[in-house]
Amino acid sequence: MGLNNYDIKEIKITFKMASMNPKYKGNANKIIRILADEYKVSFDRIYKIIFGKKVNLNIGANLRILRMKRNLTQHEVAKALGLYYQTIGYWENNKSSPCGNKLEKLAKFYDVPVEDITESK
């Protein structure tokens, strides 16, 4: 099923409204997953509609490399950042991607520029 212009506009508005809800604060990926299920399209398609770009599949590999270079477990990274270890696993396996403040927290934690996480090597 394709999305028409009305669907795309509705997706953007729904995302914006949901982002303001404290229940989803800082969890854009959860909103995107819900919208993807609702409109029966891929996570990547909704992500591109909202952010205007594709999900970078290098992020997961980059995060895993940064973690392993420091001999850290997913649990240790999650605890240091105040996240669930499953979240780190999802990011490393490209099931979702960190965005906004989480991406900045990761960069600060690993003491690297954000581009080291988001760009392909």
Taking only the tens place, the pLDDT of each residue in 20-70 is 888 877 778 788 889 989 999 887 788 888 877 665 668 888 999 999 999
Cα dihedral 24, 28, 33, 39 in deg (nearest 10): 100
pTM of the model: 0.55
Q: What angle do CA 120, 42, 38 make, to 5 degrees?
A: 145
**How far is residue 80's CA from residue 47's CA, in Å, rounded to a whole number?**
27
> What distance lies between CA 78 and its chain's CA centroid?
15
Cβ pair 96, 33 in contact under 8 A: yes
Least Cα distance to 42 among 50, 89, 85, 73 occurs for: 50
